[in-house]
Chain A
Amino acid sequence: MIKKYVMIFIVVLAVSAGAGWVFFGCAFEEEISHDPAPCEEEDYIVIGLSQIGSESDWRNANTESFKSVFTAGNGYYLLYEDAQQKQENQLKAVRDFILQEVDYIILDPIVETGWDTVLMEAADAGIPVILVDRQILLENDELYTCWVGSNFREEGRAAGRWLEDYLKLQSRENKEIRIVTLQGTPESSAQIGRTSGFADVLSEHDNWNMLDKRNGEFTQAKGQEVMRDFLKLYEDIDVVVSENDNMTFGAIEAIEAAGKTCGPGGDMIILSFDAVRAAIQFMQAGKINAVFECNPLLGPKVAEIIERLEAGEQVEKIQYIEETYFDTSMDLEKILKERVY
């Protein structure tokens, strides 16, 4: 019977030791990368980042960009929460950040609605919220400090203007140009922006003829299918506008299967969006004319915004990240070396 008492004691000790080892082990590991916890040092700016997940290379590059900027060395303490593609995890993460009294909350909202309550709680607690990448529908704009992300419409326009210049170089600016578009997931902000941006430039040219626009769902398989249909339906396509790289890869397969060529010196001009590594490599191989970047490296820009907020300045509500483009006239080898993703 004393044995029972001793047994309880030993068991509880064992469990605590086990749990303690796990945490101490993690904490020890953490100390190599982070310095003292925020409660000890008052100089740290504590940031809570609620990320959607780690479903794609773009997303991982996005996360890495934040983690590499908000380090202890730069005076930040980052609390990172991966929501595993669930909104309820993001809501919980934001609530935890509010309880922990972080200085800033960075949120990449997985869906457009359902954030009103939690943003109000953050506002009541006096914590500024910075939205990144995806956008949300809110009645009250005051609930967030600012939004940082890609200007999809500008990406579309940049593609249109590049095409303008390229056609001038080829002395084709007065000929009839036949264009098809592979569109992304309907109603997504990326699709809406890129289509309307390109349409802005399209409307300026009477000789540009948009033959068709179809949904390729941002995937390689669907992109190939849609391109195959286009090739059957339309003769002499001059330009293919593909709203992301994955669809472009599928389109190239379809074009080559039909015995045609694309890229500089080919039958068709291909314009693509996103600028992942593989796309630039395809460009080196001479199959894509130009790619327009969707920049995931939002970390430095957000850090700059936070510094300005710390200094008491006002920041613009909507801020676009700088994005550029790449085409075959550039030193692609060098660019590939410098690309982070």
Chain B
Amino acid sequence: MSKNQASAAGSFRDKLKNLTDTNLLLAITIIVFFLMYLGAVIFQGGGFLKPQAFFNILSANAALVILSCGLSLVMITGGIDISVGGVTALISMCCAVYLDFHGGNVMTSAVIALAIGLGFGLFQGFLVAYLDIQPFIVTLAGMFFARGLTTIVNTKPFNVANEAFTKLKMTRVTVPFMGSVNKRGIYVDAYVEIGVAVAVLVVILMFCFLRWTKLGRSFYAVGGNAQSALMLGINVKRTRFISHVLCGLLAGIGGFVYFLHVGSGSASHAAGAEMDAIASSIIGGTMLTGGVGNIAGTFFGVLSLGTIQNIVSSAGLDQAWWSGITRAVMLCLFLVIQSVVMARKKKA
């Protein structure tokens, strides 16, 4: 009996030893998220006990999940893309104008969204990969360009009145068996917005892409050490280019999901979304220096940030200020964790 126990403990230790950096950071992220959520349930009780609270976090952050996935892809390759917020605002304004002023249909507006995102991705990717311009500068310019273009398309913010769109916006995907009884004693099914389904799909696809395709794994190689990757025969320029194109495409998808969520066009939409996406990726275990990252971690990173918002607001604090401060504290702590892991790696 004790021999079995010893061998079981031994294999567990072995598993720990083989924990790569990526998985170590992922483990930390997931543990912290669960602790936080557990803490919220225990100390705040009430609304948090309902599964609907979790689904509300998902619904509110579906677009951010998609944007963060795109950003993680670029960060793993060692680059950055801070234009995603501006692109999202541009997409929401263009689609809103198209739907209301030109009487378009929803399908075409989705195509428009993808086209805009892809366009930005292609252009920025080309500048970064083939002209060797710093990604921060290129995407900074892209961000200003996108935001400025949004006001040229239409100066005033407005809500979309197109009926087909509003129907799609209000579609709910019911999650079975997770409903709860509300104040009146009526059983209400738990639901998520339609954007969540898209977000989950994107996460799964990107996860498989990074882990099981050659191109995905070359992202890690290029981000870890571009010189070594070049010597291994990986086309570094093409890899960087594709990472930006993918980020742009995901910004297009994320932008449309955001548009579905807010239902309006405005130049101030998604303000600071790129920062939230970067923060989520970092909390999820993606290193700013590149070469390390995990889409699952990014997903939990977004959820962690969303949970903080909910905890702050249910504690009766002014959510606008305190959630920002708490997120900043959390981000700093995770940056410290990252540098500790990196230092350990060097020592080993």
Residues in A lying within 8 Å of B, measured CB to CB: 1-2, 4-5, 7-8, 11-12, 14-16, 18-20, 22-23, 26-27, 30, 34, 37-39, 77-82, 84-88, 92-93, 95-96, 98-101, 111, 113-114, 117, 124-127
Contacts and interface: CB of A to CB of B under 8 A. Distances in A.
B305 to A, nearest CB: 12
Nearest to A100: B47
Given A12-B35, A127-B183, A30 B53 contact: no
17 contacts: A4-B17, A8-B24, A12-B35, A14-B333, A15-B334, A15-B337, A30-B317, A80-B318, A82-B319, A84-B320, A92-B60, A96-B56, A101-B47, A111-B159, A125-B184, A125-B188, A126-B183
B329 interface: yes
A277 to B, nearest CB: 25
Contacts of B159: 87, 111, 113-114
A30 B184 CA distance: 30
B326 A22 contact: yes
A26 B28 contact: no
A328 B53 CA distance: 56
Contacts of A98: 182
Contacts, number: 123
B157 to A, nearest CB: 8
B16 A93 contact: no
Interface string B163-176: 00000001000000
B153 interface: no
Contacts of A86: 268
Interface residues of B, number: 54
B314 interface: yes
List the 4 closest pairs (A to B, CB-CB), nearest first: A99-B47, A100-B47, A126-B184, A82-B320
B286 interface: no
Interface in B1-54: 13, 16-17, 19, 24, 27-28, 31-32, 35-36, 39, 44-47, 50, 52-53
Majority secondary structure of chain A interface residues (helix, strand, loop or mixed): helix
A87 B333 CA distance: 32
Given A8-B24, A101-B46, A124 B320 contact: no
Nearest to B317: A26
A22 B46 CA distance: 21
A34 B316 contact: yes
B47 A96 contact: yes
Interface of B: 13, 16-17, 19, 24, 27-28, 31-32, 35-36, 39, 44-47, 50, 52-53, 56, 60, 159, 161, 170, 182-184, 186, 188, 261-264, 268, 310-311, 313-320, 322, 325-326, 329-330, 333-334, 337, 340, 344
B interface, over-half SS: helix
A15 B333 contact: yes
A16 B32 contact: yes
Contacts of A23: 311, 315, 326
A303 to B, nearest CB: 18
Given A111-B159, A124-B186, A78 B316 contact: yes
B28 A11 contact: yes
Contact of B182 (A34, A82, A101): A101
Contact of B16 (A4, A19, A78, A127): A4
Contact of B27 (A8, A18, A80, A127): A8
A39 B46 contact: yes
A122 to B, nearest CB: 10
Nearest to B49: A99
Contacts of A5: 16
Contact of B264 (A20, A92, A114): A114
A302 B53 CA distance: 29
A27 B326 CA distance: 13
A15 B50 contact: no
Contact of A19 (B36, B183, B262, B316): B36
Nearest to B184: A126
B188 A124 contact: yes
B276 to A, nearest CB: 14
Given A14-B333, A92-B60, A124-B182, 17 more contacts: A5-B16, A11-B337, A12-B28, A19-B326, A19-B329, A19-B330, A22-B329, A23-B326, A26-B315, A38-B46, A77-B316, A82-B320, A84-B320, A96-B56, A96-B313, A100-B314, A125-B184
Contact of A117 (B44, B170, B313, B326): B170
Contact of A12 (B31, B188, B314): B31
B170 A99 contact: no
Given A11-B337, A14-B333, A30 B326 contact: no
